[in-house]
A = this chain, B = another copy of it.
Amino acid sequence: MRYTLAELTERAQHLLKALTERYIRDGQPVGSRVLARDVGLNLSPATIRNVIADLEELGLVRSPHTSAGRVPTVSGYRVFVDTLLSVKPLELSLVGTMKESLGSGVDTKELVQKASSLLSDVTRLAGIVTLPRRNHAALERVEFLPLSEKKVLAVLVLNNKEVRNSILHTARSYSSAELQQFSNFLNAQFAGKELSEVREKLLSELRETRETLDRMMATALEMADQVLGTAEQGSDYVLAGQTNLMGVTEFCDVGRLRQLFEAFNEKKELLGLLDQCVENEGVQIFIGDESGYQMLDECSLVTAPYSVEGKVIGVLGVIGPTRMAYERVIPIVDATARILRAALNSQD
């Protein structure tokens, strides 16, 4: 008898579920005997074996070697998390504790770090949170301060929350009064607009102004352009609890572990992966090498986007072995995304 994925017998589903859960719990190949006792159905090991053989043919489970039990394959996990998993809601008390531990962060970066630690603490795996990309942040105001000969400090205030500053090296010195004029001019023009918009407008104005030869305006615009150029914060993430992964039996091999940690340092690849999650709403899961990055072999990544004012500005998640307690990790990631969003929104 032959099933397609869509029409797995109820029994087969049941067994795949039991097998996966058991394997996640114990980490050891599970055989027909234990499965027979574990699952509610009153079946003999022999019967179980028949069904399991079918599952193996479908590529959902495999045995590490003859005469060991079976373990789920990547496809097996996929089916498990997509259709078989019953996610238990989080205990309210835990959610409370989580909220608290994130609670009072004022600084955005601090919040992100706390969220990452939170994820790793609660799941006992590695937590990862991207820094918010506020492309849509509104420019609140710009301020220029003279520092010294030919050096000007530019202060950018975004959304009343975030502050970025950068030091500009200018061709000549500017007086306080001059800089004040620049600030006023720019604030009048751009305050309240989105950064991307500001940038665009800036360039067009710059072109226009060059023709009219208004020195002051041109200089101001040039300065602003410089600031925006440098202030574009390279997207990045904060990782926490890497050491938790060292306790995981799957990574007892140092070479394996090293590969993983080097992937963490690379950042680029992992960021690419995380970026894919920005679009999809809700929790998303990458299992094993599904991601295409073989450094994440034997790893799973559970992610959720987080947003502020309705716009997704980042992704957070958990990295752990494929054999992780999904039914627990998923609601935790989900909850953390909500908590972080709340914290960011209530930031005053």
How far is it, in angstroms, between the C-alpha of A58 and the C-alpha of B261 when the chains are bound? 42
Q: Does A106 contact B (CB under 8 A)?
A: yes
Q: How many copies make up the complex? A: 2
A218-261 vs B, Cβ < 8 Å mask (1 yes, 0 no) = 00000000000000000000000011001100011010011001
Closest-CB distance, A194 to chain B (whole angstroms): 18
Contact B145–A155 (Cβ < 8 Å): yes
Closest chain B residue, CB of each to CB of A253: B254
Closest chain B residue, CB of each to CB of A249: B254
Contact B147–A140 (Cβ < 8 Å): yes
User: Chain B residues near A157 (CB, 8 Å)?
Assistant: 145, 147, 153
Q: Does A148 contact B (CB under 8 A)?
A: yes
Closest-CB distance, A219 to chain B (whole angstroms): 21
**Which residues from 137 to 157 on chain A have a C-beta closer than 8 Å to any C-beta of chain B?**
140-141, 143, 145, 147-148, 151, 153, 155, 157
Choose from B148, B262, B348 the contact partner of A243 (Cβ within 8 Å).
B262
Q: Does A209 contact B (CB under 8 A)?
A: no
A254-272 vs B, Cβ < 8 Å mask (1 yes, 0 no) = 1001100110010000000
A159-198 vs B, Cβ < 8 Å mask (1 yes, 0 no) = 0100101010000000000000000000000000000000
Sample of 5 more A-B contacts, CB < 8 Å, known A147-B157, A243-B258: A143-B143, A143-B145, A246-B257, A246-B261, A254-B257
Closest chain B residue, CB of each to CB of A169: B348
Contact A151–B348 (Cβ < 8 Å): yes
User: Chain B residues near A153 (CB, 8 Å)?
Assistant: 155, 157, 163
How far is it, in angstroms, between the C-alpha of A160 and the C-alpha of B148 when the chains are bound? 7
Closest-CB distance, A179 to chain B (whole angstroms): 11
Choose from B163, B243, B258 the contact partner of A246 (Cβ within 8 Å).
B258
User: Chain B residues near A265 (CB, 8 Å)?
Assistant: 243
30 contacts between A and B (CB under 8 A): A106-B167, A140-B147, A141-B145, A143-B143, A143-B145, A145-B155, A145-B157, A147-B157, A147-B160, A148-B160, A151-B160, A153-B155, A153-B157, A153-B163, A155-B155, A163-B165, A163-B167, A242-B261, A243-B261, A243-B265, A246-B254, A246-B257, A246-B258, A246-B261, A247-B258, A251-B254, A252-B254, A254-B254, A254-B257, A257-B257
User: Chain B residues near A247 (CB, 8 Å)?
Assistant: 258
